[in-house]
């Protein structure tokens, strides 16, 4: 396995029925002896003990032995590195052998013996469990079998490709823990306390087993209780997340609360139980495209926006130390596992690693975010969006303007509507849109890629020039106090605060 390396303390824990007994922990190649006392666990009956090990940076294999009055247990070939938790629904569960170029990826796995894998089995619990109910894949060294076992079993494609790329960059051990379940809402992965902060009480939600189409229900917190909470003693470096599809129909307008609050709560729980950074890095994949229908403008677009807490990008004031991979331009409409499961997980992971290196590791990365406009200029004859860096324009489509005859702050009334408008000209750092609103109508706002499937493969409108990262979707509203444009109006776009308080 892999335990967390320095500067953090790895935590080792275990169970014993003998309350009050002393447990001795020895770590090979060190002179340190650790002692722990078996105490009553949270259930008041069973005993639990744990110790924090001294920080360790060496990459040699260790043997860790726990000794009690009745004998000893040892775990061998333990490495110290960075431990990442990978969670979410079916696009995180989507396995390496279902991915494009799977045979090549699987064949290369045996070169990564310092990357270790663990997969939690699908289980539920009505209360927080203190040990995993079931393990699907015990700690394993990376090889053909452990990486490419079977579809929907193990190992997670996004998790593997992310961890493999991190190892390529860092050249020290990486531990990957996959805990995921297809078709599940964020509410199932959140504690009762976290959900209460978003006004949600106990409830049952529809769950669709996405590759079988079998309907079911799932209660609040049952996956947090069974598939995450048992691991909070473990020191981790960070977490990555691929989920949101299920919430396009479940509490969609609360996702801007439930998702960032879940992150806050995971950080609190892990840091209080062990030695995990209370602001540990958290990365996520912004939802990819789904159905081949360019008219769908609700559901997925709403969740993508809410994944950033309505800020448009991360990290932001509400979601510090958070990074993301934009995937809306990676459709796979004819995937054998359904269009909701695109096979291109390589580009997803490349983008996630770029942003992760910048945010989670504070590395110097020349380009790790797609472009967002930093200034909007409105006039009766032209709309200009300025960017802080150079951009590449791959298509003129994707932008919409809200035309209004009734004013207001949002484009939701019967007197305002969204109309598509093309890019009519561009420079290296700006684009010009056609002000399509009719005479007498005001331009209330602008939005970009606000569709479930906004473009063909890597053919959305705006990309960065160096890393070819897509600009994320956004919605922007100008002040409602501004009336009909008699002269150009220039607005600074501040993406460090939400642009709206509810959905367009």
Residue ranges making up the domain that contains 91: 80-359
- Asked if residue 500 is part of any domain, the answer here is no
* Residues 69, 28 share a domain: yes
pLDDT, tens digit, 9 for 90 and up, residues 95-129: 999 999 999 999 999 999 999 999 999 999 999 99
- Asked if residue 461 is part of any domain, the answer here is yes
- The predicted model scores a pTM of 0.94
* Residues 272, 282 share a domain: yes
* Residues 144, 68 share a domain: no
* Residues 417, 329 share a domain: no
* Residues 457, 335 share a domain: no
Mean pLDDT of the chain: 92
Q: Are 52 and 104 in contact (CB under 8 A)?
A: no
pLDDT, tens digit, 9 for 90 and up, residues 32-81: 899 999 999 877 778 999 999 999 999 999 999 999 998 999 999 999 99
Q: Please check the confidence at residue 504 and state whether its pLDDT lies above 90.
A: no
- Asked if residue 411 is part of any domain, the answer here is yes
* Residues 223, 339 share a domain: yes
- Asked if residue 87 is part of any domain, the answer here is yes
* Residues 313, 194 share a domain: yes
CATH number, domain of 148, equals 3.40.50.1110
Number of domains composing the chain: 3
* Residues 69, 48 share a domain: yes
Q: Which of 55, 78, 101 is the last residue of a domain?
A: 78
- Asked if residue 277 is part of any domain, the answer here is yes
Cα angle 345, 369, 309 (rounded to 5 degrees) comes to: 90
Between strands 115-120 and 174-180, the pairing is: parallel
* Residues 471, 325 share a domain: no
Give the rounded percent of residues in the chain with a pLDDT score beyond 70. 94
Output the pLDDT for position 215: 61
* Residues 405, 313 share a domain: no
* Residues 281, 178 share a domain: yes
Q: Which of 78, 97, 114 is the last residue of a domain?
A: 78
Q: Please check the confidence at residue 233 and state whether its pLDDT lies above 80.
A: yes
- Asked if residue 497 is part of any domain, the answer here is no
- Asked if residue 445 is part of any domain, the answer here is yes
What is the spatial distance between Cα 96 and Cα 311, in angstroms, rounded to a whole number?
Answer: 32
> What band does 457 get if pLDDT is binned at 50, 70 and 90?
very high
DSSP string for 256-285: HHHHHHHHHHHHHHHHHHSS--TT--EEEE
| 472-489 as b/e: b if 16+ CB within 10 A | bbbbbbbeeeeeebeeee
Nearest in space to 78 (alpha carbons), one of 157, 158, 6, 141: 141
Q: Which of 303, 328, 359 is the last residue of a domain?
A: 359
CB neighbours of 31 closer than 8 A, spacing ≥ 6?
Answer: none
* Residues 134, 57 share a domain: no
Q: Helix (H, G, I), strand (E, B), or coil: what is residue 74?
A: strand
pLDDT, tens digit, 9 for 90 and up, residues 306-362: 999 999 999 999 999 999 999 999 999 999 999 999 999 999 999 999 999 999 999
């Amino acid at each position: 396995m892999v335990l967390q390396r320095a500067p953090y303390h790895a935590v080792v824990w275990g169970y014993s029925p003998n309350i009050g007994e002393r447990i001795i922990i020895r770590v090979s190649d060190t002179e340190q002896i650790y002692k722990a006392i078996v105490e009553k666990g949270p259930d008041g009956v069973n005993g639990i003990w744990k110790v924090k090990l001294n920080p360790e940076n060496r990459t040699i294999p260790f043997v860790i032995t726990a000794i009690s009055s009745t004998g000893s247990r040892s775990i061998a070939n333990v490495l110290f590195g960075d431990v990442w938790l990978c969670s979410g629904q079916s696009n995180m569960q989507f396995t390496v052998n279902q991915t494009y170029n799977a045979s090549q990826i699987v064949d290369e796995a045996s070169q990564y013996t310092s990357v270790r894998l663990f997969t939690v089995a699908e289980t539920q619990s009505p209360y927080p469990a203190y040990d995993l109910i079931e393990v699907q894949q015990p700690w394993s060294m990376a090889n053909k079998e452990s990486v490419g076992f079977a579809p929907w079993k193990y190992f997670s494609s996004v998790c593997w490709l992310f961890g493999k790329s991190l190892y390529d960059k860092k050249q020290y051990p990486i531990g990957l823990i996959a805990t995921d379940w297809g078709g599940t809402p964020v509410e199932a992965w959140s504690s009762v306390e976290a959900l209460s902060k978003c006004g949600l009480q106990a409830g049952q939600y529809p769950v669709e087993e996405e590759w079988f189409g079998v309907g079911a229900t799932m209660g609040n917190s049952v996956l947090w209780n069974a598939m995450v909470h048992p691991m909070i003693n473990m020191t981790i470096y960070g977490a990555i997340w691929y989920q949101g599809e299920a919430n396009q129909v479940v509490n969609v307008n609360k996702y801007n609360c439930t998702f960032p609050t879940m992150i806050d709560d995971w950080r609190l729980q892990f840091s209080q139980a062990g030695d995990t950074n209370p602001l540990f890095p958290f990365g996520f994949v912004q939802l990819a495209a789904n159905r081949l229908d360019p008219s769908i403008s609700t559901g997925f677009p709403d969740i993508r926006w809410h994944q950033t807490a309505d800020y448009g990008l991360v990290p932001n004031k509400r979601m510090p130390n958070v990074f993301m991979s934009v995937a809306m331009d990676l459709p796979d409409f004819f995937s054998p596992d359904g269009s909701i499961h695109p096979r291109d997980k390589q580009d997803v992971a490349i983008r996630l690693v770029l942003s992760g290196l910048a945010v989670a590791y504070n590395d110097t990365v020349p380009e790790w975010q797609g472009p967002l406009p930093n200034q909007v200029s409105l006039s009766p004859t032209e709309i200009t969006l300025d960017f802080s860096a150079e951009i590449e324009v791959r298509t003129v489509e994707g932008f919409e303007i809200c035309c209004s005859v009734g004013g207001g702050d949002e484009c939701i009334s019967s007197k305002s509507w969204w109309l598509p408008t093309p890019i009519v000209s561009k420079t290296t750092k700006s684009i010009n849109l056609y002000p399509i609103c009719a005479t007498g109508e005001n331009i209330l706002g602008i939005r970009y890629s606000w569709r479930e499937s906004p473009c063909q493969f890597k053919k959305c409108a705006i990309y960065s020039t160096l890393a070819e990262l897509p600009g994320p979707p956004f919605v922007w509203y100008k002040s409602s106090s501004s009336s009909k444009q008699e002269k150009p109006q220039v607005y600074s776009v501040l993406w460090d605060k939400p642009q709206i308080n509810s959905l367009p």
